[in-house]
Amino acid sequence: MLLRLLQGIALLGLTVAIHTAVLGAMFVRFQRHIQFHLPIGFIANSWLLTRIAAITVLAHLVEICIWAGFYYWKEALPDFETSLYFSAVTYATIGYGDIVLSQAWRMHAAMEGLTGILMCGWSGAFFFAVVNRLQAHKQAELAKE
């Protein structure tokens, strides 16, 4: 049980590290976007937010693949496709229940679900912060006029 818990914590740590790197890189690019007063407006902001959403979703998919790869590597599930499906449903906390892990691996599913909640919440908070920053920047530009 302790070994499985440590494995889950390692997977959580790797997931957080990936998310930190991706959101951190996007934050730096976004700061440059605001700093150099690149065009603001509906189309420019929509394009920026679309890129942020796409990159964030890709980060989540990479993280899901890592959990899936672990399940497949440890033979907790029969093949990678099943592992990927199970991991996606668990990470996103959809939990259809059509595929379940054996009792020995169930703690990993719970840990992945909790990790997914945290990462999705973090992504949502990041997205909200960007939108909030864009609005503040727009208000500052309007005040200058």
Q: Cα–Cα distances in Å, from 93 out to 87, 110, 116, 140?
A: 9, 9, 7, 39
Domains contained in the chain, number: 1
Residue 70 within a domain: yes
Q: Could you please report the per-residue DSSP string of the chain?
A: -HHHHHHHHHHHHHHHHHHHHHHHHHHHHHHHHHHTT---SHHHHHHHHHHHHHHHHHHHHHHHHHHHHHHHHTTSSSSHHHHHHHHHHHHTT----SS---GGGHHHHHHHHHHHHHHHHHHHHHHHHHHHHHHHHHHHHHHH-
Residue 83 within a domain: yes
Q: Containing domain of residue 82, as a range?
A: 2-17+42-144
Residue 110 within a domain: yes
Residue 25 within a domain: no
- pLDDT tens string, the chain, 145 residues long: the values are 899 999 999 999 999 999 999 999 999 988 877 776 666 788 888 988 999 999 999 999 999 999 999 999 999 999 999 999 999 999 999 989 899 999 999 999 999 999 999 999 999 999 999 999 888 877 877 787 6
The CATH number assigned to the domain holding 89 equals 1.10.287.70
Asked if 102 contacts 116 with a C-beta cutoff of 8 angstroms, the reply is: no
**Report field, pTM of the whole predicted structure over 0.85:** yes
Asked if 53 contacts 30 with a C-beta cutoff of 8 angstroms, the reply is: no
Asked if 125 contacts 52 with a C-beta cutoff of 8 angstroms, the reply is: no
